[in-house]
Amino acid sequence: SHIQALDCRFASQGSEPFLLHHFIGSLNTPYDYQPLETLFSPDTSKRIATSGGRPTNSSMPYFNLETGGGGVIAALGWPGQWESWFLCNSDNLLRIAAGQEQTHFVLHPQEEIRLPLVVLQFYQGGWIRAQNLWRRWMLAHNLPRPHGQLPPPMIAACTSGIYYEMCNANEENQNYFIDRYAEEKIDLDFWHMDAGWYITSQCWQGTGTWEIDPQRFPNGLRAVTNNAHTRGMQSIVWFEPERVTAGTWLADTHPEWVLGGKGGGLLNLGHPQAWNWLVNHIDRMIVSQGIDLYRQDFNMEPVSHWRVNDTPDRRGITEIKHCLGYLAFWDELHRRHPDMIIDTCASGGRRNDLETLRRSLPLLRSDHIGHPLGSQCHTYGIAFWIPYYGTGLPFSNDYTFRSSLCPYNTIGWDMRDPNQDYDTYRRRFDQRRSIARLYLGDYYPLTGYSLDNNVWMAWQFDRPDLGEGLVQAFRRPDNDPADADRRFPLHGLRPGAVYRLTDFDSPDTAERTGRDLMELGLSLTIPNRPGAALIHYQQIK
């Protein structure tokens, strides 16, 4: 009972109180990934947990505890319902206890389980330095490596939810859009087929029959993926196998596999026959339909399905077996397709625990897409912990476009309109291509976090291995008219090196030493409200 995967005590390294940095999860709001701080004095405590059974649904399972002159990063890898306790006693010792929220069970003969992964990273110096050590560790030892390499920055296009309702997608209009992107010389990495390609009367809601709709795709998805391949694009196809609705093939044919039976519910990945069927069915689809990237969504809260199926002496076991089945499912897909990327969606960013991120990339960090304020705040927060992430990319103006730049972006232009300003689109597209690799560097916030519309927000991404980096700054629409100029000291540069600065809004360049940029700072003027500056720097000597 009450098994804690992490249970440690930490002493302060001085007279300073403990300061905990923790973060909101993804809730489809502007404040997704918002950084929070909690100060601990003696005899104080705080509980932080996820909700609903998805690990980043309400809070992130990643913590940075400053202990005075240094500290410790603590992270949980568990794709289920976790909780954590931070308890500071009267002697100013702080205890962290964390793990699966409910454990009270017996194990049967020969039965084995495992509990959450725990990572501890101790550090000296400031907490931002620690976050960059974490980012480097994530990149070096955790991100999936297709073909033995880190995933490069990528861009995809789709039609769903923008100009076509998802279930209106068919072979004809999907191929039309692929052809139009190629005709306009828009160089895409992926064509993205979203939900609703299967037999259903409920679009994305009606999951549980994973067969291609022959009316809309008489030649299968192959007719679309083959066309994409001939145009130099790979293919993404959306699945959501764990959510089963009533009246679908899984609910009707195998109710014993579903936590909820014929009425629909959660496909039980702890059930050996269900797991075996799913692995082989998805594998056949990947092979037969030419799918290059497997996207798995998860638009439900599983915790009630797990708990109602536990007996009093086995509380937590259904969740454990499901979570282990889920991880084993992806491991088997990777064994069969070692260079295939998996996208973890989960209602946009609600399943981003460390175990999941060791197997996949969060190519949609939040379902709150295309709003400049929210997009800026999402990048500000998520970049502390997750170096590779994605979102939609609106092209309506430079401000909204630059607010959503990420290592991975999805666009959705209405290619039926030949009179759009494709020259401007291509210019912005090329700008993104030229700097996207820099998002995989060290991350430094240059301003505080704010959801207010009257402030500036800015950050820096630095690639010391390349000797170059990127500064982004945003002046929001209600900013004071007199507040058009700012100066930002940069970080991580070589003091004696000379850097060439390129402003994407000016034909002029400048040269500054690393020492000047770190001590005196980078001066920026953004005359417009709203406005966005995009500055590239590169070491030249």
Q: Is the pLDDT of residue 16 over 90?
A: no
Closest of 462, 466, 465 to residue 443, by C-alpha = 462
Q: Are 509 and 522 in contact (CB under 8 A)?
A: no
Q: Distance between CA 216 and CA 208 in Å, rounded?
A: 18
User: In this predicted model, what pLDDT tens digit does every residue of 461-502 receive, in sequence order?
Assistant: 999 999 999 999 999 999 999 999 999 999 999 999 999 999
pTM, entire model: 0.96
pLDDT of residue 396: 87
Closest of 464, 459, 467 to residue 533, by C-alpha = 459
pLDDT of residue 163: 53
Q: Where residue 179 falls among pLDDT bands split at 50, 70, 90?
A: very high
User: In this predicted model, what pLDDT tens digit does every residue of 91-131 receive, in sequence order?
Assistant: 889 999 999 999 999 999 999 999 999 999 999 999 999 99
Q: Where residue 201 falls among pLDDT bands split at 50, 70, 90?
A: confident
| Lowest pLDDT segment from 5-14, 163-172, 269-278, 344-353 | 163-172
pLDDT of residue 196: 86
Q: Where residue 183 falls among pLDDT bands split at 50, 70, 90?
A: very high
Work out the mean pLDDT of the chain and round it to a whole number: 96
Q: Is the pLDDT of residue 446 over 90?
A: yes
Distance between first and last Cα of the chain = 61
pLDDT of residue 469: 98
Q: Where residue 139 falls among pLDDT bands split at 50, 70, 90?
A: very high
Q: Is the pLDDT of residue 15 over 80?
A: no
Q: Which residues pair with 96 in a beta bridge?
A: 8, 86
pLDDT of residue 166: 63
pLDDT of residue 174: 95
Mention every residue, 6+ apart, whose C-beta is less than 8 A from residue 150.
Answer: 139, 143, 440
Q: Is the pLDDT of residue 161 over 90?
A: no
pLDDT of residue 324: 98
User: In this predicted model, what pLDDT tens digit does every residue of 259-286 receive, in sequence order?
Assistant: 999 999 999 999 999 999 999 999 999 9
User: In this predicted model, what pLDDT tens digit does every residue of 356-377 receive, in sequence order?
Assistant: 999 999 999 999 999 999 999 9
Q: Are 451 and 174 in contact (CB under 8 A)?
A: no
ω before 144 within 30° of 0 (cis)?
no
Closest of 158, 157, 167, 223 to residue 187, by C-alpha = 157
Residue 524: helix, strand or coil by DSSP?
A: strand
